Structure 1
Amino acid sequence: MSASPLSSARSARAAIAERLTEAMRDAGLTGLDLADRCGWSKSKSSRIARGITPPSDSDIRAWCDACGVPELAADLIAASRSADAMYVEWQRLHRDGMRRVHEKTTPLYRRTRNFRVYASNLVPGLLQTGEYATGLLRSITAFQHTPDDIEEAVAARLARSRVVVEGDHTFALLLEETVLYYRVCDETAMAAQLGSLLSVMKRPNVSLGIIPFEARRTVWPLEAFYAFDGTQVAVETLTAEINVTSPGEIRTYLRAFGQLSRLAVRGPEARVRITRAIDTLG
């Protein structure tokens, strides 16, 4: 595997800091000179130059103006915004609740033709029932101490998931068998969720694979990720969503998906494993 997407996000931010530092040096300025021209403390200039503090759009404009290269600002601002989008903390995404996040990503789901999804810890959002999603989002809200808009967020999640039954979309989904046993809702809701998986497997546009407990691993369990066509991969970690757009990294995730796919069982054998999980619920 290549460097983690978190490393790539940090590298993108470091590259912006390096370009700003080069502009300062090319202008013959010291950090103190630049701070004076911008009306900042020296520590602020130092933090930006070392990549510790991400610069705002206005910071970049002021920096470039101070260095006599205002024409560089537009490109650096675009690069900075791209770096921001690569790594977004859940606390920031959910600061106003979760409904808006689902609504904001709905256009991406609608324009994606080919979804490839790997889930190691939860039923993917695309396949969640309302009750399962409610239990999950209630846990997330409590853990993150973010605003409670669970009812609205669940409705928005289900509306986004309409792409499974509407439009021209295909879905290749891989679930670790452990996902079938993690209870994020009560037993009745969990049984309904697993029953829903059995139903969605019948759809001609859905391929659902279960990676057995006993599978001989060629790829270790990874963080959950969604691949949207071949243009973007969204990786879900405990603290953040990491959006991968680098072609090399996307290829790595798709290669991992391919290897994980070969470990999975489908059709009747997958149905047996889902039914077995339902039976444990009593």
Structure 2
Amino acid sequence: MSTDYQRAREELGRRLRELRVESSDGRLTGTELAQLLGWPQSKVSKLENGRQTPTDEDLRAWAEAVGQPAVCAELRARLKGFESHIRSWRRQLTAGHGPVQETWNTLVGEARTLHVWENNVVNGMLQTPDYARNLFEHLAEFRRSPRDAEDAVRARMKRQEWLYRPGRQLKLLMWEGALRAQVCPPEVLAAQMDRLLGVVGMDTVHLGIVPLDAALRLPPANGFWILDDRLVTVEDWHAELWLDDAETIALYRRVWDTFAESAVFGAEAQQVIARARRSIKV
């Protein structure tokens, strides 16, 4: 997947390789550097090829091992530049929502476990086509982006095939307010609630609902996705934020775990969904 974020990580990897090759003690092989650092050789390879994000300590150790400790500040500045990567909607949506959804298909397709908190609408992994279509049409109008709702819907529905692959797990928490948001016609919302009732109990879906009257230890705040504990994505009005430093990922996982304490699952979740379904005046 080619993204600004990934390109920045690959550029940092190339810089690390350059420092290894130009070591003050002569050219080091990847195996030799790994031995100096006490790392598996695979870690050196992943860092140089942009397949793993280094920590501050990794960069300090690398700079010292190649005999150039002064370069550590430069490396840390590069890292800081993409630890919190902002992907603006204005830039992403120049060709419409369809290409953005295809990028997400690639991102999700590479994951085996998703931890998701959704606080405002039904999550895209469980949306019906009609519900998704209404959202894309509203967002295209709001953001004045190309109107390609049908392409976007097809891409989002394709992503849901992930739910039927062995070994996948969607661990989804939703605020009850997301079930009640009137973002589409009543008949579409009613069908969406029926869809949610049907997925409770699916082997690959662990669905929890946080009731409106549940005691909360944190405010609902923004929704987010955690992909395999390697990447967090957060959506705001102006941009998506992609975060993959270990400390931030751990923070968002604690947030998810905290909301899970207030959620209900199984039959109790079905009761909350059914209550929202009954409130819809079709």
TM-score (norm 2): 0.70
Change (3 A) 1:114 1:134: same
The one-letter code of the counterpart of 1:276 is: R
Offset at 1:82? Answer: 6.2
Offset at 1:79? Answer: 3.6
The one-letter code of the counterpart of 2:123 is: P
Offset at 1:212? Answer: 1.0
Q: Is residue 110 of structure 1 aligned with residue 94 of structure 2?
A: no
Counterpart secondary structure, 1:86: strand
| Of 82-91 and 180-189, the range deviating more from structure 2 | 82-91
- Distance in 1 between residues matched to 2:216 and 2:175, nearest whole Å: 12
Q: For residues 151-181 of structure 1, give each alpha carbon's deviation from its aligned partner in whole angstroms, at most 9, with x where no partner exists.
A: 1111011101210123421011000010110
Q: For residues 18-71 of structure 1, give each alpha carbon's deviation from its aligned partner in whole angstroms, at most 9, with x where no partner exists.
A: xxxxxxxxxxxxxxxxxxxxxxxxxxxxxxxxxxxxxxxxxxxxxxxxxxxxxx
- Distance in 2 between residues matched to 1:161 and 1:85, nearest whole Å: 28
Q: For residues 102-125 of structure 1, give each alpha carbon's deviation from its aligned partner in whole angstroms, at most 9, with x where no partner exists.
A: 112222211211110000001111
Aligned to 1:151: 150
Aligned to 2:275: 276
Structure 2 residues not aligned, in runs of 5+:
13-70
CA contact (8 A) 2:83 2:244 kept: no
Q: Is residue 265 of structure 1 aligned with residue 271 of structure 2?
A: no
Aligned to 1:49: none
Aligned to 1:202: 201
Matches within 5 A, 1:38-77: none
Aligned to 1:255: 254
- Distance in 1 between residues matched to 2:159 and 2:84, nearest whole Å: 21
CA contact (8 A) 2:201 2:266 kept: no
- Distance in 2 between residues matched to 1:82 and 1:167, nearest whole Å: 37
- Distance in 1 between residues matched to 2:201 and 2:79, nearest whole Å: 44
Aligned to 1:92: 91
- Distance in 1 between residues matched to 2:173 and 2:210, nearest whole Å: 7
**Matched pairs, number:** 211
- Distance in 1 between residues matched to 2:108 and 2:188, nearest whole Å: 26
Offset at 1:224? Answer: 0.6
Counterpart secondary structure, 2:147: coil
Aligned to 2:211: 212
The one-letter code of the counterpart of 2:104 is: T
Change (3 A) 1:140 1:81: farther
- Distance in 2 between residues matched to 1:228 and 1:170, nearest whole Å: 11
TM-score (norm 1): 0.70
Offset at 1:80? Answer: 8.1
Counterpart secondary structure, 1:95: helix
Give the CA RMSD over aligned residues. Answer: 2.4
CA contact (8 A) 2:83 2:243 kept: no
- Distance in 2 between residues matched to 1:124 and 1:79, nearest whole Å: 34
The one-letter code of the counterpart of 2:183 is: V
- Distance in 2 between residues matched to 1:178 and 1:105, nearest whole Å: 25
Change (3 A) 1:150 1:81: farther
Matches within 5 A, 1:123-134: 123-134=122-133
Counterpart secondary structure, 1:213: coil
Structure 1 residues not aligned, in runs of 5+:
1-8, 17-71
